[in-house]
């Protein structure tokens, strides 16, 4: 929902159809999943529970929702068809919020929640609960006669977490305010039991981001304590190069079992990365850079660059290739840097402004040569191309730094992780 659009009441979403970008119906909305937060912040909407045609209920993250309008929900990207399982930190809005008795903060009067409205934050994909539609009275015969009113989420008590609360729920809510690096730092200082509890409570995308920042020993420990299907989901949510690094640390039988549970396309990317030597361009690269066809426009490129889940290094440039536009692609034509996109009109074709002067790397290029290449040309990302001229992926400067720093650099307490883990 774009900024300034009317708010959406959740009762109006129950049962509405969900469509993919091609217009095919995926299923229908059966509930919404929210997470309570500390620090006086409104509950965050994590996603939708969608019942697909087989009557299986799956989880659709709000980051995949591109539109809620005209009695339908439009999604983007691949939908994970694994069965939805509610986590300790999650609340079902229709199932747990509606008809709940709470109190008005100002008067202490008891009211019943009849509906909940959600809104999207400006220029972001995050959604929050912003208002409650409530009825005064104590229920029974009086319930229908009570006054109804719409109040801000902060005007109601009964949906909040105490800062000093116990359990993974409060700790995860506190972690939500931190960057993945800082959460990883705090998680590293927890006991193994507590670490497993918090990891189980984090959603897949968040846990994937945190795992990428943890030392290898912690990664192996956490992934080993997850149920296998969920472990496969988390690996799918990780960057393919990070997932490949983690899987390479597991016993062969465990590695193959998890790869089998992953979606075929994701598993294929990871298997391809694992076939390269670790300290080479092929072993360092990600298989998911921004790829555009020659007939794409500058406007198309900027829309891709604006995606919130891209790292700054990957968003710094787009790679122009002939079809197919997923790695390994058709013929690699060149790179268009973000600054050049800002200088040209939106209707210009990326093929007209492509930079083809720099020679791309080959997958067997050793780490020292990759480092020298990035430094010599002042780049934050560099393409990796095979002998046939197809783009295989891109090496980003952060992946290079991971291999240049001491092996134990992630275990250094840079941001007070131990104090956070101990609740100070």
Give the C-alpha separation, 179 to 193, whole Å: 22
Using one digit for the tens of pLDDT, what is the confidence trace for 39-50?
Answer: 677 888 999 999
Q: What global pTM score does this model have?
A: 0.62
The two tokens of residue 381 are: 């990302």
The per-residue pLDDT for 167 is: 52
User: By the 8 A CB rule, do 296 and 350 touch?
Assistant: yes
Which range among 167-176, 320-329, 407-416 shows the weakest confidence by mean pLDDT?
407-416
Instruction: For residues 236 and 205, give the distance between their C-alpha atoms in angstroms, rounded to a whole number.
Output: 9
> Taking residues 335-358, what's their average pLDDT?
93
Which pLDDT band holds residue 15 (cuts at 50, 70, 90)? confident
Of the given ranges (130-134, 135-139, 318-322, 412-416), which has the lowest mean pLDDT?
A: 412-416
pLDDT cut 90: percent of the chain above it:
38
How far is C-alpha 360 from the chain's CA centre?
A: 29
Give the whole-angstrom CA distance, residue 409 versus residue 367: 18
Mean pLDDT of the chain: 84
Confidence band for 410, pLDDT divided at 50, 70 and 90:
low
Under the banding of pLDDT at 50, 70 and 90, the label for residue 142 is very low
Task: List 31's β-bridge partners, or say none.
Answer: 49
Q: Residue 416: pLDDT above 90?
A: no
**pLDDT reported for residue 164:** 41
Structure tokens at 175: 């972690």
pLDDT digits (tens, 9 = 90+) for 52-63: 887 788 999 888
Task: Report the pLDDT averaged over residues 28-33.
Answer: 90
pLDDT, residue 211, reads 93
The residue-averaged pLDDT of 174-201 equals: 79
pLDDT, tens digit (0-9, with 9 covering 90-100), for 242-282: 999 999 999 999 999 999 999 898 999 999 999 999 889 99
Give yes or no for a contact between 401 and 317, defined as CB atoms under 8 angstroms apart. no
pLDDT higher than threshold 50 for residue 136 = yes
pLDDT digits (tens, 9 = 90+) for 227-237: 899 999 999 99
Q: How far is Cα 118 from Cα 121, in angstroms, rounded to an integer? A: 10
């Amino acid at each position: 929902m774009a900024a300034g659009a009317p708010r959406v009441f959740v009762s109006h979403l129950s049962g509405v159809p969900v469509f993919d970008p091609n217009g095919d119906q995926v299923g229908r909305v059966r509930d919404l999943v929210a997470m309570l937060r500390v620090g006086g912040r409104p509950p965050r909407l994590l996603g939708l529970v969608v019942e697909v045609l087989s009557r299986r209920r799956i989880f659709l993250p709000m980051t995949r929702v591109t539109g809620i309008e005209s009695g339908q929900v439009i999604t983007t990207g691949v939908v994970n068809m694994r069965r939805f399982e509610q986590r300790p930190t999650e609340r079902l809005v229709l199932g747990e919020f509606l008809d709940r008795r709470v109190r008005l903060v100002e008067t202490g009067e008891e009211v019943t929640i009849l509906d909940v409205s959600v809104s999207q934050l400006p220029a972001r994909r995050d959604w929050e609960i912003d208002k409650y539609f409530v009825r005064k009275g104590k229920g029974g015969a009086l319930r229908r006669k009570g006054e109804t009113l719409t109040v801000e989420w902060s005007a109601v008590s009964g949906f909040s977490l105490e800062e000093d609360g116990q359990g993974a729920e409060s700790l995860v809510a506190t972690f939500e305010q931190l960057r993945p690096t800082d959460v990883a730092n705090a998680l590293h200082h927890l006991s193994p039991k507590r670490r497993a509890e918090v990891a189980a409570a984090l959603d897949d995308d968040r846990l994937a981001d945190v795992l990428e920042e943890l030392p290898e020993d912690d990664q192996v420990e956490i992934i080993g304590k997850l149920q296998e299907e969920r472990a496969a989901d988390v690996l799918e949510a990780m960057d393919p190069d990070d997932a490949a690094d983690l899987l390479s640390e597991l016993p062969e039988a465990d590695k193959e079992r998890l790869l089998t549970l992953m979606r075929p396309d994701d598993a294929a990317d990871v298997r391809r990365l694992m076939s390269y030597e670790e300290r080479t361009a092929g072993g360092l690269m990600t298989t998911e850079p921004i790829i555009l066809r020659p007939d794409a426009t500058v406007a198309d490129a900027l829309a891709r660059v604006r995606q919130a889940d891209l790292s700054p290094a990957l968003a710094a440039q787009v790679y122009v290739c002939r079809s197919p536009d997923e790695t390994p692609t058709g013929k690699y034509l060149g790179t268009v840097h973000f600054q050049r996109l800002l200088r040209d009109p939106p209707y210009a074709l990326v093929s007209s402004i492509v930079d083809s002067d720099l020679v791309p790397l080959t997958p067997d290029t050793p780490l020292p040569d990759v480092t020298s290449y990035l430094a010599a040309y002042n780049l934050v990302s560099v393409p990796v191309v095979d002998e046939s001229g197809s783009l295989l992926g891109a090496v980003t400067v952060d992946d290079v730094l991971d291999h240049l720093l001491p092996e134990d650099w992630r275990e250094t307490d840079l941001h007070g992780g131990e104090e956070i883990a101990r609740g100070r």
